[in-house]
Amino acid sequence: MALWLARLALDRWRQAQGCARGEGSDAQPLALVTETAHGPRIDAANDAGAAGGAAPGMLLADARTLCPALQVVASDPAGDLAFLERLALWARRWGPWSAMDAPDGLLVDVTAVAHLFGGEEALLADVHRQLEARGLAVRAAIGPTAGSAWALARYGPPAAILSPGEDVIARLAALPVAALRLDDDVLLVLRRLGLKRLGDLAGIGEGTGGRDAVQRRFRNRRSPAANPLIRLDQIAGRVPEPLLPVIAVEPCLAERRLLEPIRHRPLLDQVLADLAGDMVRLLEARGEGARRLELGLWRVDGEVVVRRLELAAATRDVAHVCRLFATRLDDVDAGFGIELVRLLATWTEPLALAQADLDAAADAHGISLAACIDRLTVRLGAKALSRPVPRGSHKPERAQGWQAPLDPVRPSQEVFAFHSRPLKLLERSESIAVIYASPDGLPRRFSWRGQAREVARVEGPERISPEWWREKGGSRLRDYYRIEDASGCRYWIYREGIMGDARGGMPQWFLQGLFG
Amino acid sequence: MDLATLPTAARLLTLGQGAPRWRPGLPPAGPVHHEIFAPADEAGGAAFALALALDSLRAQAPGEEARRGVFLAERPLLWVQDAASIRKAGRPYAPGLPPAWRNRVIHVAVKDAADALFALEEGMRCRDLACVIGEICGNPRALDLTASRRLGLAAERHGVPLFLVRHDAARDISSARMRWQVRSAASPLPRWNAAAPRAGPGVGSWHAELFRARTHPPGEWTLHDDGQTLIAERPVAHATAPDHGAMAGAAGA
């Protein structure tokens, strides 16, 4: 059985607004748009918008000329996909397994299932009723193969049923070739060849040598979506078509319903330790470690307090988790007592079993790097810890990026040995006043932070041009000089621009880095 | 603890006298808490801390490792800076770090000295770190004798050396095992064509005064790192204009 949620994006938007079709804010013309290189483009338009002239695929500027009152909302493809995934899980009510057919379809295996609903017509009626009750416009069809059901759901009559005895190709002959689930460029080729209906293509295959001709035309196309013959065979059931079913992964959850609501911290710590022990056993059984944990505390009066914890590396250490949560529980107000405590691992990663470290050994040998980073992150915040990584850029301040300390570092080119770079870079280049012999010559003296410094030794310039592919046309080149002043301090200064480059007035001088 | 193993008062008094003078490459007596006083508007303090850390690692590593320049399985380095240090002296810049440290820095930016002390102590308790470098600006109230004693004990207990750079700070009371006053010195002249009228700046060079150490007598050196080892020259007595002893005295030792 194939389901086609033709207006999924709009239906989701309408659900978020809480209005029925054609009422409330849906009565105004509205379009969901995506930003593209050529300006916003319409993904979907509601009834009023479509009546005004907006059509999917149109540029927003074109649609506005037709319908000036058109309202615009950004579309949310990632949200739609997540919704479709949940819907696919829910759709297993009609069959043992279901698969997503992104962006807006579902496939459900209903082999030998229909009699449970009272026949295939009743099954389709149930599908329509259930989904329309949820505000989703749907077209459903049943066929002996996934391809035939897909074609009927999109291009066939409403609630079409193709029973296994019938000739699939004959029944689908009148549908357009787009029903074969082909890529756009293949559809264009077929249209130029004059093959408009599915029957035209199947008819060629029956003649002598006709199928060979089509085969030769598409001989390099291995992917089913690019080869109409493979698609045709899949529809007819001559070639298998594997589908990828969705499988729900239950998050690890441990909870304690407490007979007597607890109001004191030592008891809560005890419950937390028990929960962490349960969680560790659950995770161990699955060979996983927790990366993100959520502790929910349900109070007697219905208030819920949630504390989240992120770990730098997957862990199954009870003491570590308890210690990290202990600092987060100081400000919990127990009120009249907490009656339900629940620990949920919302993000887990594979973690092989390892020999548990004895507590004494950990004390003697110190803690591991991941545990150290967790401890620092809990107190200082996630942004405080970072690791410098090289990035591809000529601009010194852009050539270094910061990422989380334990993330893998991407391979990159080693720093050039002939580039001298300072040990430290100031957060922002500081403006300095420089005295020089000639405008393009070497600096002689400069003043920085209110103190004049005599230049004793200087090397330069090293010219770094602006990155024209990133910056505006008016940005100026930089000439860097390495300076050593009379007292031995070494600095990295630069002059932004040169005289007469027609990009501003006199060149400015800045101090950017300090050499060790 | 066994009382017999503790040094007697007489031995503690004469500890510094029989001890050898500090020199680069001397194996450290143990993981030590160093304190490095340096001006904030130059990177000499941090560069000296890195060079000293590298020097003590080279001295610890067995001969073969030291010769090839492989150190302690490339363990990372924790670099803690408070907000004032970042504002005044900038952040570490990986392309300019010494090649041995370039890909090993984990940077911690904290807002004040209290958080910095917490991060330093947690860092020293981690067995996977090669060393911990801290930068704290001025003389904050949180960094008192008790705090510095905690740091020193943590360094000795867990075997991770600490190099604490004090920017623009007066020499207050501290229990650091080795205390240095550091400023940048004129870099060595190029080996070839040293007489060129305006040669460019050379490798980083520092004037370091060891003014308090438990196991070494105090002294002054001019140091630079030539890529393989740390090289020291004793400064000539009648050298550069500012008399360092007078300057340090004015800073309020």
| pLDDT tens-digit series, residues A401-455 | 999 998 888 888 888 888 889 999 999 999 999 988 887 788 899 999 999 999 9
Angle at Cα B77 formed by Cα B74 and Cα B78, nearest 5°? 155
Phi, psi of A47, deg, nearest 5 = -60, -45
Fold of B26-186+202-250: Rossmann fold (3.40.50)
User: B-chain residues within 8 Å CB-CB of A444?
Assistant: none
Which residue among A383, A399, A489 sits closest to B184, beta carbon to beta carbon?
A: A489
Is B102 at the interface with chain A, CB within 8 A? yes
CA A72 to the chain's CA centroid: 23
Question: Which residues partner with A388 through β-bridges?
Answer: A402
CA B51 to the chain's CA centroid: 8
Question: Which residues partner with A98 through β-bridges?
Answer: A108
Long-range contacts of A213-220 (CB under 8 A, 24+ apart): A217/A189, A218/A186
Enumerate residues 222 to 241 of chain B having a beta carbon within 8 A of any beta carbon in chain A. none
Model-level pTM? 0.59
pLDDT score recorded for residue B151: 93
B43 and A423 in contact by Cβ < 8 A? yes
Is A484 at the interface with chain B, CB within 8 A? yes
Give dist(CA A122, CA B34) in Å, integer.
Answer: 82
User: Any idea of the CA torsion for A200, A201, A204, A205, to the nearest 10 degrees?
Assistant: -140
| β-pairing verdict for A338-350 and B162-167 | unpaired
User: A-chain residues within 8 Å CB-CB of B226?
Assistant: none
**The CATH number of domain A252-378 is 3.30.70.20:** no
Token code pair at residue A320: 């570590």
Q: Are A67 and A49 in contact (CB under 8 A)?
A: yes
B46 and A515 in contact by Cβ < 8 A? no
pLDDT score recorded for residue B68: 42
pLDDT digits (tens, 9 = 90+) for A2-37: 888 888 888 888 888 888 777 777 888 888 888 888
User: B-chain residues within 8 Å CB-CB of A380?
Assistant: 108, 110, 115, 118-119
Enumerate residues 122 to 161 of chain A having a beta carbon within 8 A of any beta carbon in chain B. none
pLDDT digits (tens, 9 = 90+) for A279-306: 999 998 888 899 999 999 999 998 999 9
The position carrying tokens 């695929």 is A57
Alpha helices (H) along A329-389: 359-365, 369-380
Q: Helix-strand-coil percent breakdown of chain A, rounded to 5?
A: 35, 30, 35
Which residue among B107, B126, B200 sits closest to A482, beta carbon to beta carbon?
A: B200
How many CB pairs below 8 A link A and B?
167
Total residue length of chain A: 516
Enumerate residues 176 to 215 of chain B having a beta carbon within 8 A of any beta carbon in chain A. 183-187, 198-201, 204-205, 207
pLDDT score recorded for residue A463: 92
Is B247 at the interface with chain A, CB within 8 A? no
Give dist(CA A240, CA A254) in Å, integer.
Answer: 42
Angle at Cα B17 formed by Cα B16 and Cα B22, nearest 5°? 60
Q: Are A274 and A281 in contact (CB under 8 A)?
A: no
Give dist(CA A1, CA A95) in Å, integer.
Answer: 9
Please list the rounded mean pLDDT of every run of 10 residues in chain B (253 residues): 63 62 80 91 93 85 49 79 94 91 92 94 88 94 93 88 94 91 89 72 90 88 87 62 43 40
Total residue length of chain B: 253
Closest-CA distance, A419 to chain B, in angstroms, reads: 9
Tell me how crowded residue B34 is: count the other CB atoms within 10 A of its CB. 25
User: In chain A, which segments carry CATH 3.30.1490.100?
Assistant: 252-378
Token code pair at residue A497: 């621009």
Is A515 at the interface with chain B, CB within 8 A? yes
Percent of chain A predicted with pLDDT > 70: 97
Interface probe with B: pick from A387, A410, A429, A490, most Cβ of B within 10 Å: A490
User: B-chain residues within 8 Å CB-CB of A482?
Assistant: 200-201
- In the three-class reduction of DSSP (H, G, I as helix; E, B as strand; rest coil), residue A351 is classed as coil
Q: Are A214 and A190 in contact (CB under 8 A)?
A: no
Cα distances (Å, whole numbers) of residue B174 to A167, B105, B178: 92, 27, 10
Environment class of B83 (CB within 10 Å of its CB; exposed 0-12, middle 13-18, buried 19+): middle
Closest residue by Cα to residue B90 from B43, B57, B44: B43
- In the three-class reduction of DSSP (H, G, I as helix; E, B as strand; rest coil), residue A154 is classed as helix
pLDDT score recorded for residue B242: 43
Alpha helices (H) along A7-145: 8-17, 47-52, 60-66, 77-90, 120-133
For residue B80, what is the enclosing H or E element?
A: strand B77-82
Closest residue by Cα to residue A514 from B50, B86, B182, B42: B42
User: A-chain residues within 8 Å CB-CB of B183?
Assistant: 487-488
Task: Report the mean per-residue pLDDT for chain A.
Answer: 87
Is A462 at the interface with chain B, CB within 8 A? no
A458 and B201 in contact by Cβ < 8 A? yes
pLDDT digits (tens, 9 = 90+) for A108-120: 999 888 889 888 8
Closest residue by Cα to residue B143 from B85, B93, B183: B85
The position carrying tokens 């609903």 is A117
Give dist(CA A51, CA A67) in Å, integer.
Answer: 9
Token code pair at residue A313: 């590396």
Give dist(CA B66, CA A16) in Å, integer.
Answer: 65
- In the three-class reduction of DSSP (H, G, I as helix; E, B as strand; rest coil), residue A325 is classed as helix
Environment class of A268 (CB within 10 Å of its CB; exposed 0-12, middle 13-18, buried 19+): buried
A515 and B48 in contact by Cβ < 8 A? no
pLDDT score recorded for residue A295: 93
Angle at Cα B44 formed by Cα B39 and Cα B50, nearest 5°? 125
The position carrying tokens 């307090």 is A305
Phi, psi of B32, deg, nearest 5 = -120, 155
A516 and B127 in contact by Cβ < 8 A? no
Q: Which residue of B has its CA nearest to A380?
A: B110
Give dist(CA B36, CA B42) in Å, integer.
Answer: 13
Which residue among B90, B122, B129 sits closest to A426, beta carbon to beta carbon?
A: B90
The position carrying tokens 């004129």 is B186
Cα distances (Å, whole numbers) of residue A4 to A94, A101, A184: 15, 9, 19
pLDDT score recorded for residue B126: 87
Q: Which residue of A has its CA nearest to B197?
A: A457
Residues of chain A with pLDDT under 50: none
How much is the ipTM here?
A: 0.83
Token code pair at residue A328: 């987060």
